[in-house]
Amino acid sequence: MMSTYSQRLNQRIQQTRTPALAGIDPRFDWLPEEFRQRASAHPGGTRVCMARAFLEFSFELLHLVAPLVPAVKPQAAFFEQLGLPGLAALHAVMSTARKLGLIVIADSKRGDIGSTAEAYADGWLAGSDPDAAAWPADALTINPWLGTDSIQPFVDIAAKRGAGLYVLVRTSNPGAAQFQDRISDGVPLYQTVAGVVSQLNESTRSADDPWGSVGAVVGATWPAQLASLREQMPGVPFLVPGYGAQGGTSADTAGAFTSNGLGAIVNSSRGINFAWRRKPFSEQFGEQHWRESVVAAVHEMIADLAANTPAANLQSP
């Protein structure tokens, strides 16, 4: 029997005893010198060399975090900017993550109408079988701006393949309020989107999968709104960006969880990928020992979430 996205994710969260999500956000100028040096010596054009560096760095990151966290979130934009070599690197990173047993959330924020939405969904949502789509993602972030009919094709394919979705509801960036807080029919627009997400999520739930396939992106940088959205969407899985480098704290994320520690995953990208660039890891490890700093940063995040959220209540399956 095909497993659902939420079943696989929650099993991994319980196995690792943490909701920590490691983003994969390679930036060439921030990479350790060893990767940039090898890239400059690699035959091929600039983008080919940069893509090779991204690939090597991301592979090392995956092997470092795989024993510690349930999932990773590759940010497609950093790879796409390099053209075809970057796309090949992204695919290899996602495939390797799946082979390591990690849940893969593709952060691509797709969204369109009709047959175009169907094509995006068909291409990105592999779900339980990594070979079921061109891109081997367990789940995908999507943009709801075009309305419910632009989301439904993703929902249909997600349900068919055991994949997951995270719909942008309340994003973590400072400018989010410009549109998302606009009042429509007496409520902020983000609450209207949340209502649609709840309805779509309910249609994908079952006795075996009470969480369903349709989740919401809700930023840690808006803790009061995050808590109110959990009340509005009690059974919807949350993806919580904004922790760490963007200013959100573990306490800010606490409202996203149910009492047993499930219901949300919390992302950190820069804070893990480039941990050696910030204190105390810059002093403790430095660039030469960047691998140790990545592991230390993940352990720090895991402990931080356990100390200040219901993640402390997670039980092994």
Active-site annotation, residues: 109
Burial class (CB in 10 A: 0-12, 13-18, 19+), 149: exposed
- Specify the DSSP element, H or E, that contains 281: helix 281-284
Across 115-259, the runs of DSSP E, i.e. the strands, are: 139-142, 164-170, 183-184, 187-188, 214-218, 238-240
3 state SS of 63: helix
What backbone torsions phi and psi does residue 104 show, to the nearest 5 degrees?
A: -110, 115
Rounded to whole angstroms, how far apart are CA atoms 289 and 78? 24
Query: Which residue, 163, 248, 152, is CA-closest to 203?
Result: 152
Determine whether 21 is exposed, middle or buried from the number of CB atoms within 10 Å of its CB (0-12, 13-18, 19+).
buried
- Find the angle CA(303)-CA(16)-CA(308) to the nearest 5 degrees: 30
